[in-house]
Amino acid sequence: MTERHWNRRAGTLLFLVLAILVLAGITAAGIFLEEEAAVTDFSRTNLAPGAEFWFGTDWMGRDMFARTIAGLSLSIRIGLLTAAVSAAAALVLGTMAATLGRRADSAISWCIDLVMGIPHILLVMLISIACGRGFAGVVAGVSLSHWPSLARVIRGEVLQLKNAPYILVEEKLGVSKLQVACRHMLPHLFPQFLTGLILLFPHAILHEASVTFLGFGLSSEQPAIGVILSESMQYLTTGRWWLALFPGLSLVLVVVLFALLGERARYLLDPASAHE
Amino acid sequence: MTLEARDVTFYYRGKKKSPVLDHFSLYINSGERVGLKAPSGRGKTTLCRLLAGYERPVKGEILLDGKPLGAYRGACPVQMVWQHPETVVDPLLRLGTTLSEAGDVEERLREALHIEEGWMDRFPSELSGGELQRFCLARALHPGVRFLLCDEISAMLDLVTQAQIWQFLLEETKRRSLGLLVVSHDDSLLDQVCTRIVELPFPSWRIF
């Protein structure tokens, strides 16, 4: 009967655990490899991928594998930070819009529309420049531009919950406001929030990499994926394909992993599919 | 005790020109069973929501024993039983949890409504509409309730269950001398159950 216990829920849980382990592993490995990523050795420049250097080496003899992992690690850490900041902003603003009356709602909704109306990459660039580029600039840019979609979801969800018949009935039956909020609203809100939070990572990571690639983000001595990609553009035409391929591919893989993580988390948490 | 709607005017936001209720008055005494009938869309459910305190009238007031309904704290003495029971229970909670939140239901009520012990461990999606409706009735009939507003509570049930539920409600209202407002399209049901029948007036702004 073991096969019957192996349902989609268990499979999804296993996937979640594995994905989190992989991502945590990359993040930790990147922190340790950061020094090695900066080591230059002119006796081993421009080596193609092989047994010793899996991702090859660049024109300064740096190990591309170490650089890639260090870059991914930095990207994931920036992604975590920015996603957490924007999700917190989204939660606060969304709840305020839904609960503080019509005026607050239209003011916040106006801000949401305003930020959503400007293309992300443009906004990230502008904020990043205004904040002096570098780590602080990228974090500010990405977190200040990514909250609106989640804020809108939270606002809608809270509005709907506030007027849901079962919430109204509970209040009529004398259940306290605090208990209604904790017992009846949070369990409905939390899945949406968590899914939105996880799905913010891939966005944040990609925008961090692209704004750095364009030269408005992290400075060039940091081992960021965006830096690696933009530098390798000069060497692509000379036939050193490995400089861009492996870092780019691993960035895409990490992003896909995050996106799948969010989607699977929704399967488990969303009321509509939680009992399947 | 008397539940009274005094000169109530109500319209939904932005629909000032077409009020659902226009200077409407109604009273229900304890022990009375008032039937309410009107075609669809005339405002029967809206009236129930007003009487139970889910909405506030734009003009006029809802009084329970001469005091505004909002003055009563805790569990409201006026409870409404909704037309669609599946919308009034939290889909993520087991029914036992939902029931215990509203204060425990007397054993006598559970037996009379044929609520089985096994239902308490289930989720709302695992019960039928009729089963849920009986559950909602038990919840609404908490010890402090004085008036019960039944908004088409039996329209989706089979005849046997309908008869059971009304039989039970008649006995229960007599025993506790509750006031009852019965909303239904079914004339014969109203004739059978009610002591008095009220019809919602044709709204003056409608020209057809």
Using CB atoms, pick whichever of B90, B123, B142 lies closest to residue A173. B142
Contact across the interface for A173 and B75, Cβ inside 8 Å:
yes
Residue A96 lies in a domain: yes
CA A137 to chain centre: 17
Q: How far apart are CA B153 and CA B162, in angstroms?
A: 9
Contact across the interface for B92 and A188, Cβ inside 8 Å:
yes
Q: For the residues A139-162, what does the mean pLDDT come to?
A: 91
A97-111 pLDDT, tens digit each = 988 888 999 999 999
Query: Tokens 């096994």 label which residue?
Result: B118
Instruction: Specify the number of domains making up chain B.
Output: 1
User: What's at B69, amino acid-wise?
Assistant: L
Q: For the residues B102-120, what does the mean pLDDT come to?
A: 84
Measured between CA atoms, the residue of chain A closest to residue B69 is A172
Q: CB neighbours (10 Å) of residue A181?
A: 13
B26-44 pLDDT, tens digit each = 999 998 999 998 888 888 8
A52-69 pLDDT, tens digit each = 767 777 777 777 788 888
Residue A46 lies in a domain: no
From B92's Cα to the closest Cα of chain A, the distance in A is: 7
CATH at B54: 3.40.50.300
Q: Are B169 and B192 in contact (CB under 8 A)?
A: no
Report whether pLDDT(A271) > 70. Answer: no
User: Domain containing B30: what range?
Assistant: 2-199
Tokens of A8: 């989609």
User: Domain containing A244: what range?
Assistant: 8-38+61-269
Query: ipTM of this predicted complex?
Result: 0.85
B70 or B56: which carries more pLDDT confidence? B56
B183-203 pLDDT, tens digit each = 988 888 889 889 999 988 877
Q: Are A266 and A187 in contact (CB under 8 A)?
A: no
Q: For the residues B94-111, what does the mean pLDDT come to?
A: 83
Task: Show which residues on chain A lie within 8 Å of chain B, measured between beta carbons.
Answer: 164-166, 168-170, 172-175, 179, 183-184, 187-188, 271, 274-275
Residue B204 lies in a domain: no
| Among A115, A72, A80, A27, CA closest to A203 | A80
Measured between CA atoms, the residue of chain B closest to residue A177 is B74
Query: What are the b/e assignments for A71-80, b being 16+ CB within 10 Å?
Result: bbbbbbbbbb
Question: Number of CB pairs < 8 Å for A and B?
Answer: 51
Report whether pLDDT(B161) > 90. Answer: no
Q: For the residues A262-270, what does the mean pLDDT come to?
A: 78
Residue B116 lies in a domain: yes
Question: Residue A67: what pLDDT?
Answer: 85
Report whether pLDDT(A92) > 90. Answer: yes
Residue B126 lies in a domain: yes
Residue A51 lies in a domain: no
Measured between CA atoms, the residue of chain A closest to residue B88 is A166
Using CB atoms, pick whichever of A172, A174, A271 lies closest to residue B91. A271
Report whether pLDDT(A1) > 50. Answer: no
From A92's Cα to the closest Cα of chain B, the distance in A is: 24
Chain A residues whose beta carbon lies within 8 Å of the beta carbon of residue B101? 170, 173, 175, 179, 183
**Winning range, highest mean pLDDT, from A179-183, A199-203, A216-220, B147-151:** B147-151
Residue B207 lies in a domain: no
Question: Residue B80: what pLDDT?
Answer: 92
Measured between CA atoms, the residue of chain B closest to residue A173 is B75
Chain A residues whose beta carbon lies within 8 Å of the beta carbon of residue B79? 172-173
Question: Residue A150: what pLDDT?
Answer: 92
